[in-house]
Chain A
Amino acid sequence: MIAELGHFSLWLAVGVTLLLGTLPLVGAQRGRADLMALAKPATHLLLLLITISFACLITSFVRNDFSLLNVASNSNTELPLMYRVAASWGSHEGSLMLWLLMQAGWAAAVAAFSRHLPLPVQTRILSVMGLLTLSFLLFVLLTSNPFDRIFPVPLEGRDLNPQLQDPGMIIHPPMLYMGYVGMSVAFSFAVAALIGGNLDAQWARWMRPWTTVAWAFLTVGIALGSWWAYYELGWGGWWFWDAVENASFMPWLVATALIHSLAVTEKRGSFKSWTVLLAIMGYSLSLLGTFLVRSGVITSVHSFASDPKRGLFILVMLAITVGAALALYAWRAPKVGLGARFSMLSRESMLLANNVMLLVATGAVMLGTLYPLILDSLGLGKISVGAPYFDAVFVPIMAVLVFFMGLGPMARWKNDSLPELAVRLRWAAGVTVVSAALTAWIGGNITIGSVVGLLMTFWIVSSVLAELWERVRPAGGVQTQVLHRLGQLPRATVGMMVAHLGVAVFVFGVTMVGTYDIERDVAMAPGDSTTVNGYTFTYQGTQDIEGPNYSAVRGHLVVTRDGKLVSDMFPEKRIYRVQRNPMTEAAITSRVRGDLYVQMGEPIQGNTWLVRIWVKPFVSWIWFGCLLMALGGVWAVTDRRYRVRATRSESAATGATASAVR
């Protein structure tokens, strides 16, 4: 019964999206307030229906209803409750339900927080989001119904893929999907503006906070995925340039370009048609990622079970959605004005350079990801493009990007002069070179990569500090004003600085791990010890343990440094009882200065095991940097200028209701 209720709600939701995607849109074109008024209630109803449906799915998982194919394939009575809940979005079908929930959630959020938008604009946005939801609803119902029954009903389920039985897996997909689907808000704003013909600075200001929030979610989602791969896959790496990772990285690169180009559109009115195009591309790449992961056209370590029929459906969906948006773009964009002019050296040109580099990066990632597929469709066979290509292409692009990242915020809008800019940044440049040289010298082992990475890190830090100083420097020589002026900085500016520092932290982590990472494979009998980079690892032996749905061999290593205990580490090798998959559970001791990472290899004989030991300096800075970027984004969104307008119209609305009640 519960499953049928969930299934039925989805079909009702189809009806609601059909309504939402048509009548209000017509109303907005004809200026009919009665039709436009439908948009909001329809959006709320949509969220309600999809929430019901999703709740039904979770309930079926919690109650071990193995008459559902999806539950039987991805769950098991021995699976702990927490993972039974998470399993409801662990499969292809379930993850699409999560997608739908997010989509409806974003639409409802737009309905709730866009009271200050003119009614036709708001209506068009909601209608477009309704249509996007419709396409995913049909995809779920026609090709990937999570409520399909099976007969005979199995007594036991096949269990969730062991790699997904991990706390990281509970939060990673929701975060990532919030980002992916959040890009649909920017897309809908862009399409709505193309339909309505109101592409202006005002439009950019409305769209900015939404885009930034979606970008922040995407950042956290990708970082969590990387962190999960780091500790769960046990290869000791944090990014593998795998097709699925690239699929999430491409929308991120475009979203990053978009938040920067929106800045120009809002402040100077330039880059309008470019911004629209980026907004369309961001969501298109989310769709492309969905296609790549779920259609089986590309081999990846963590794609879903592939099905060409589903692939075809998404491809058609992608062609229609993006095709319609781009057709609208080709029709409307030529009429969009160019906005204010700017000179070769100005903040606009710096941000343009940022956009170009980010798009070149996107193109490079896309080429590497799709190259195997393109060769295949030309009949040249299936191959793999691996990390060597991506590393070689990506690092130089990032280096140029970071260079402009230092210049951009210091350059003035419209027109700047090179000598002045150079004067403003000379200290930053000097500090950068000296600190990078010093750090490389302390660290030893100087390579081109480490020097470039350190230069990038210190360039960002020192240029952010230079900018901060420029902004708070006491104007009339009154020292006490510095702190006051620090407090007066707009949140958008502080957010930007924090996000840029996040990049510095990230680059530092990547550089340190890339340069000073140490890896040892040691055969160890109980009592043996080995010293890696000053840490002494003493192997104590193994013991057999039983988990809720797995058996494991657990090793025990005591780590000391200079005779002092650092930590006890317990790497495991697990066999999950249902799927019979061996899994290595690495033991990680995480510290600010770096991680110790230990993994059980193979038993050699008796109690002697091959143990793999890594010492990874500053590796956690990689994810901390991403977190800082996201925090910076969120902080920027709370800037006054986004709120002032909202509060004003809110009080107006409250006033109106109050007078109506009276």
Chain B
Amino acid sequence: MKALRYLVPMALLLALVGFLGVGLGLNPREVPSPLIGKPAPAFNLPRLDEPTQTLGREDLLGQVWMLNVWASWCAPCREEHPLVIDIARRKLVAVYGLNYKDQTAAAQGWLAQLGNPYRANLVDRDGRVGIDFGVYGVPETFIVDRQGVIRFKHTGALTPEIVRQRIEPLLKELQSAG
């Protein structure tokens, strides 16, 4: 029995190699979310640029909008940011940001440096609203329709393929639905 102890490192190695092996075959892909088809959770959060003003779910009803969850400490956010800027520049949809568990100064600096595509940013300092949205990591991206129902969710950095193949057709459909 005592000798078995010396096999523990080996077992750990095998488990690690197993995970790495599976990880190798994976692509960042969409995760089914229980929130899709459900109304977006209610929120009322201060704006990053104007902390005295708040923005709530009701303020955004009647338009199709995109919620991009980001933070200045998040490396993949930096990576996907040009795509978010591109979406905003092409006026595909109204883009709102959820600044998740971040410091205000750091977040503002990040936007100043990389560009600010957001119509407004909601400050979710303690991550409470993030929990309601089922955010378990950053970045995440949601699309909400005119009735305030979540229609799409992507976990992880956006890629040009996802924008072209998933987001653009969905937006076209939602916006033509009147």
A residues near B (Cβ < 8 Å) are: 235, 240, 242-243, 273, 277, 280-281, 284, 288, 291, 295, 297, 299-301, 308, 311-312, 315, 318-319, 322-323, 326-327, 329-330, 333-334, 370, 372-377, 379-388, 519, 521, 601-602, 610, 612
Main secondary structure of the interface of B (DSSP, over half): helix
Q: How far is the CA of A370 from the CA of B23 in the complex (A)?
A: 10
Hey, what's the 0/1 contact readout for B109-126 against A, CB within 8 Å counting as 1? 100110000000000000
**Inter-chain contact total with CB atoms closer than 8 Å:** 122
Residue contact B6 to A291, C-beta cutoff 8 Å: no
CB-defined contacts of A301 to chain B, threshold 8 Å: 75, 78-79
A and B contact pairs by CB, cutoff 8 A, 18 listed: A235-B113, A243-B75, A291-B20, A323-B10, A326-B9, A373-B20, A375-B137, A376-B23, A377-B19, A377-B23, A381-B137, A381-B156, A382-B157, A383-B137, A383-B138, A385-B137, A386-B138, A602-B112
CB-defined contacts of B13 to chain A, threshold 8 Å: 284, 319, 322-323, 326
**Given contacts A319-B13, A388-B101, A519-B109, is CB(A373)–CB(B19) below 8 Å?**
yes
Q: How far is the CA of A301 from the CA of B75 in the complex (A)?
A: 6
CB-defined contacts of A326 to chain B, threshold 8 Å: 9-10, 13
CB-defined contacts of A323 to chain B, threshold 8 Å: 10, 13-14
Interface residue? B177 (CB, 8 A): no
CB-defined contacts of A280 to chain B, threshold 8 Å: 9
The 9 A-B residue pairs with the shortest CB-CB distance, nearest first, are A383-B137, A382-B156, A381-B155, A377-B22, A386-B73, A381-B31, A330-B6, A297-B23, A326-B10
Q: How far is the CA of A383 from the CA of B76 in the complex (A)?
A: 8
Residues 79-137 (chain B) with a chain A CB within 8 angstroms: 79, 101, 105, 108-109, 112-113, 136-137
CB-defined contacts of B160 to chain A, threshold 8 Å: none
Residue contact B7 to A330, C-beta cutoff 8 Å: yes
Residue contact B75 to A315, C-beta cutoff 8 Å: no
Residue contact A308 to B25, C-beta cutoff 8 Å: yes
Interface residue? B21 (CB, 8 A): yes
Q: How far is the CA of A315 from the CA of B101 in the complex (A)?
A: 35
CB-defined contacts of B167 to chain A, threshold 8 Å: none
CB-defined contacts of A242 to chain B, threshold 8 Å: 75
Residue contact B20 to A384, C-beta cutoff 8 Å: no
**Given contacts A242-B75, A295-B24, A299-B79, is CB(A329)–CB(B19) below 8 Å?**
no
Q: How far is the CA of A375 from the CA of B28 in the complex (A)?
A: 11
**Given contacts A602-B112, A612-B109, is CB(A382)–CB(B9) below 8 Å?**
no
Closest CB-CB distance, A523 to chain B, in whole Å? 10
CB-defined contacts of B79 to chain A, threshold 8 Å: 299, 301
CB-defined contacts of A240 to chain B, threshold 8 Å: 75
Residues 140-165 (chain B) with a chain A CB within 8 angstroms: 155-157
Residue contact A384 to B108, C-beta cutoff 8 Å: no
Among A242, A383, A388, the most chain B Cβ lie within 10 Å of the Cβ of A383
**Given contacts A382-B28, A386-B138, A519-B109, is CB(A334)–CB(B2) below 8 Å?**
yes
CB-defined contacts of A612 to chain B, threshold 8 Å: 109, 112-113
Residue contact B3 to A386, C-beta cutoff 8 Å: no
Q: How far is the CA of A373 from the CA of B73 in the complex (A)?
A: 18
CB-defined contacts of A382 to chain B, threshold 8 Å: 28, 76, 137, 155-157
Q: How far is the CA of A330 from the CA of B73 in the complex (A)?
A: 41
Closest CB-CB distance, A294 to chain B, in whole Å? 11
Closest CB-CB distance, B156 to chain A, in whole Å? 3
Q: How far is the CA of A300 from the CA of B157 in the complex (A)?
A: 12
Chain B residue at minimal CB-CB distance from A370: B19
Q: How far is the CA of A240 from the CA of B106 in the complex (A)?
A: 13
CB-defined contacts of A235 to chain B, threshold 8 Å: 113
Residue contact A334 to B23, C-beta cutoff 8 Å: no
**Given contacts A242-B75, A299-B79, A386-B71, is CB(A380)–CB(B24) below 8 Å?**
no
